[in-house]
Structure 1
């Protein structure tokens, strides 16, 4: 017996592929559309519309509506600097908020004086979110780790506070206070490794022959107004070297407070709270704040300054992290992306050349060099465009820029004659190409050509002096650490934390550029700040550095 199986055949037309490839898009232009019939254009439009919707949906995905990590969110969707940090209100602080008739519930409770107390309307806004950290009134937690004291150091008053006479050899004295200081000992060649040393400081009061009892007063540094709340004096539980180590772990090695806690416990057996670590960073920044002015003066005298910026977040507010790199001096600032940062940082002007990208603010400085790496990337993007005409022009621009860079690099190794005159034909062709397409209907091509013409003098400056750099990689490499820190921590959470990050990072990277120990300099500066002494000078550039 033969069994016959019937197979149903779907004779409906096969659905075309939804997505158009880059190869397809490069062949589509006005001429190609004019050769298609009306029905073919309609079907193509449907496919293009589907592609556009799909691309727009993927573009709008972020950590709120997809599985994308928060670090992939666009920083441009955050509130920008200069906007109100707190929502404005229509009432002044001295004026009680008004409530419309009918918004007070009839079941109001009576107050202590018998008068009815209005309840908040049902549609009233929710109270503001609580601030991060321990809340006021919370009991908190104290230290429960007891460390063995290795040494005792007594502090005596030098002279009588009343008669200003020195004390006798053995005055009548009594200890009235003190504190324990935990410190990391400097490296010992005979016993390498990190070791903790606990010193118990005791404060004494002594009685003078005149009858007055004087007390030893520990030194206290002057707290700048912007560092209010960061108490700075000699009575600190963490010694200067241990505090400097915490700064290095958080700022240079980008460890979170929790990981620093874990590392200190694993290596030193020391228990510290996250709040103490954060307070240590802000206090240290307040102590070394005068160094920032010294750094700013050095970048003004630089013969060559690399400048760049990248987005930064401060509690959701969009700011920008700026870096000023003068080869052996590095200064960071965090603020709005405007000319204000650029002008304030270089108050005394700039003695040398400025290497930057195409940000319009930099064009106010005439002695400028334009980073060719940015232009090469943009030209490569035009060469890879789906529009055939844009791709052809972009390839020509890319070839000409590449030829100029190669000629400049070759002139550094050999005898450089008149490089600008030698490359005059390529320069003329490049400029003519930009002038011809500066008003191109293709937006990206027109923008690039206008940018080239606006920065023409800055672009060709290395041809006049081949020793000048061609790229801004020096500043971009420094900002890479800031970008990683932003992705790990999502920026800073307060204005004081933002300022502390920029200041301490400036000191650390300046020491690294000069090939000296940033930990040693931070420890010395912190010790001076706690004693109320002037800041030590910046470390000199090491020989051969």
Structure 2
């Protein structure tokens, strides 16, 4: 700032400024410099405030945060007018009653005959061919079956040597039967109980006393028993036509020395309609994604924009529109130009899904859907390009700069947004993978992860078995029992693959 250039004080006439004492000029100059510094600091503080507000207002609607992290009262209940109808079933509503067990499964049948007429008191005789059936379901006393093997020791009459009998090969030395092992795996892997809770349940419900160390050994036996069928499920994923993939953080300690650098573990999931595969790795990079899907994966991948999936060509990728919607909402919650862009993008996304729901319900033909989407696709492309054309600094961190960078990134993947429009069997969202990974997140929160690599393997294998069997409506306890029987007798383990062969299964079998 020059001494004879009072441009920052326009209201001061030049002649008066020239007659101003030098000391006052210097004071005014310092004040001007101070004002510039304060204005700069104010701008920086406003920027930080905007960033903090965006972080505080981050919810499952505008970020990848789970719904469980949302603050209470986020969802506002819609105000509905109170109905004049009474609570419960309305006239004409078909009632629901408890399903009765077949007569063949009844342990006992007791017939009750009325002795006299309820109207006149006369004696009644005969039988009812269609009596009213009322069943009482009870659980019998749970008493464990204990089989004792006595190994006798006999002394040789010739050399006086003592010889004790050995257990037959079919008798497991662990001291616990296959159903006990399967039940321990069920309580841990399906119902996500801790080892101490499993110990308590086995004692209180089944009367089986078992130590914590034995619980852990039986868990690992169950894990080893399903290794081959889980590997088979992984190969099935590698050969599938459409796969949804996702990942979430997981904690794996270094109790066994397998994680000396204390790296964060990641739980990966690959989902198909009938087979789901889980895997825990100490990395979130491309190598882990290739190991999950197979380096020669040739199917269609449904996922988010995580960089580990970028090795799959865009022509074979479908970006999750649920994630895209969160990005649009985040943009709309910013001020200025971003708000308008975000609102416009959300409107186009809502139009798209209105049409998609009609396709899914069968009220809109696929060819009509393809034609109607063309205009939506063009409008979204224009909006993204409009935002990307804004000039921003390299390190600028304003809300607008974030919007510009996001839109530029989306433009790079724009062709991967629309595969579901033309290819049947491809969903617009990756909700199937996110739903599959949710039980794993709950398990992680209640158990704080695993202590060893073997513990991580148990988690991944049990999640694979449980999720896959539920998709196929198969019994988990029965499958685990068969797998442990096969492992103890060195036979082939049961398969996790669908029992009804589809086109995808035929491709897998031919490839195998």
| Structure-2-length-normalised TM-score | 0.63
- Structure 2 residue aligned with 1:197: 145
Query: 1:59-70 alignment to 2 at 5 Å?
Result: none
Q: Does structure 2 conserve the Cα–Cα contact (< 8 Å) formed by 1:312 and 1:320? A: yes
Structure 1 residue 444 displacement after superposition: 2.6
2:268 equivalent to 1:310:
no
Work out which of the residue numbers 232, 237, 244 in structure 2 matches 1:299: 237
**Aligned partners of 2:288 and 2:153: how far apart in 1?**
51
**Aligned partners of 2:458 and 2:286: how far apart in 1?**
22
Q: Does structure 1 conserve the Cα–Cα contact (< 8 Å) formed by 2:318 and 2:417? A: yes
Change (3 A) 1:282 1:43: same
2:348 equivalent to 1:390:
no
Work out which of the residue numbers 185, 195, 219 in structure 2 matches 1:247: 185
Query: 1:280-429 alignment to 2 at 5 Å?
Result: 280-315=218-253, 317-335=263-281, 336-347=283-294, 349-350=296-297, 352-366=299-313, 367-385=316-334, 387-412=335-360, 413=362, 414-429=364-379
Structure 1 residue 262 displacement after superposition: 2.2
For 1:225-248, what per-residue CA distance to the aligned partner results, in whole angstroms no more than 9, with x for missing partners? xxxxxxxx8212221111111111
**Aligned partners of 1:499 and 1:248: how far apart in 2?**
15
2:485 equivalent to 1:535:
no
**Aligned partners of 2:247 and 2:475: how far apart in 1?**
26
**Aligned partners of 2:388 and 2:242: how far apart in 1?**
31
SS, match of residue 198 in structure 1: coil
Q: Does structure 2 conserve the Cα–Cα contact (< 8 Å) formed by 1:328 and 1:541? A: no
- Structure 1 residue aligned with 2:422: 464
**Aligned partners of 2:465 and 2:153: how far apart in 1?**
39
Change (3 A) 1:201 1:351: farther
Work out which of the residue numbers 211, 231, 234 in structure 1 matches 2:172: 234
**Aligned partners of 1:478 and 1:53: how far apart in 2?**
35
Structure 1 residue 314 displacement after superposition: 0.6
For 1:239-274, what per-residue CA distance to the aligned partner results, in whole angstroms no more than 9, with x for missing partners? 111111111111211111222222222212332222
Q: Does structure 2 conserve the Cα–Cα contact (< 8 Å) formed by 1:400 and 1:426? A: yes
For 1:510-532, what per-residue CA distance to the aligned partner results, in whole angstroms no more than 9, with x for missing partners? 11111111111111111111222
2:3 equivalent to 1:45:
no
- Structure 2 residue aligned with 1:520: 478
Structure 1 residue 477 displacement after superposition: 0.7
- Structure 1 residue aligned with 2:466: 508
**With CA pairs under 8 Å and 6+ residues apart, which has the higher RCO, 1 or 2?**
2
For 1:353-387, what per-residue CA distance to the aligned partner results, in whole angstroms no more than 9, with x for missing partners? 221111122232231211101100110111112x2
Work out which of the residue numbers 261, 274, 280 in structure 1 matches 2:212: 274
**Aligned partners of 1:303 and 1:518: how far apart in 2?**
26
**Aligned partners of 1:406 and 1:49: how far apart in 2?**
39
Q: Does structure 1 conserve the Cα–Cα contact (< 8 Å) formed by 2:388 and 2:404? A: yes
Structure 1 residue 464 displacement after superposition: 1.4
SS, match of residue 201 in structure 1: coil
Q: Does structure 2 conserve the Cα–Cα contact (< 8 Å) formed by 1:244 and 1:523? A: yes
**Aligned partners of 2:199 and 2:165: how far apart in 1?**
37
Change (3 A) 1:41 1:424: farther
For 1:424-461, what per-residue CA distance to the aligned partner results, in whole angstroms no more than 9, with x for missing partners? 22212211221222254323312321232222222111
- Structure 1 residue aligned with 2:444: 486
**Aligned partners of 2:373 and 2:181: how far apart in 1?**
56
Change (3 A) 1:205 1:345: farther
Q: Give the total of aligned pairs.
A: 366
| Aligned-residue RMSD, C-alpha | 3.7
Change (3 A) 1:430 1:39: same
For 1:59-78, what per-residue CA distance to the aligned partner results, in whole angstroms no more than 9, with x for missing partners? 9xxxxxxxxxxx99xxxxxx
Work out which of the residue numbers 411, 432, 435 in structure 2 matches 1:474: 432
1 or 2, which has the higher helix percentage? Answer: 2
Q: Does structure 2 conserve the Cα–Cα contact (< 8 Å) formed by 1:205 and 1:216? A: no
Structure 1 residue 397 displacement after superposition: 1.3
| Structure-1-length-normalised TM-score | 0.60
**Aligned partners of 1:46 and 1:540: how far apart in 2?**
61
- Structure 1 residue aligned with 2:118: none
